[in-house]
Amino acid sequence: MLEPLRKVVENSIGSRAAGTFVDRSARTKSFAGSAPAGPAREDKPFLGICLGLQALYESSEEAPEAPGLGALRGRVARFERVFKVPHVGWSQLEIPRQSRLLGGVAGGSFVYYCHSYYGPVTEESVALTDYGQRFAAAVETGNLWAVQFHPEKSGEVGLRVLKNFLDLK
């Protein structure tokens, strides 16, 4: 017999316009305003990766007609073309405050990115990166954790983040 699902990871890349889970019918009022249905409603730990973080905001320039889940205030924006877009490669983390997700990760650590859009810094931001614009690299609120970078491609730092998430009680 299979055990019930205890944690959920949404590792998405691609277009928010095609975001199958960014849909008004998938919204529910369970915490921090609105949140993904299912696991969030049951207070299961949820880890969003890349587009999984962007979907938590209220809206996005990429697909104005597709509302976000609204767990984080603000609008996802496209990087200005001052730098190469998409932002692909290694960038440093600034960690302004303690976080369960980033426990054991030092400020200045490098992580791997591949994205053209970014979420604004909010009070839920626990890590930031600067790529011509400071943006939320990681957020934490209630049972939601999310990162803009790809932990699965970020070596030891990424493994630490994934282990921290798996160890959450």
Point out the residues that are catalytic.
50, 150, 152
Hey, is 120 helix, strand or coil?
coil
Locus of tokens 């999984």:
52
**Within 10 A of 87 (CB to CB), how many other CB atoms are there?**
21
Q: Would you tell me how many other CB atoms lie within 10 Å of the CB of residue 5?
A: 10
**SS3 at position 66:** coil
Q: Are 97 and 61 in contact (CB under 8 A)?
A: no
d(CA 146, CA 101): 9
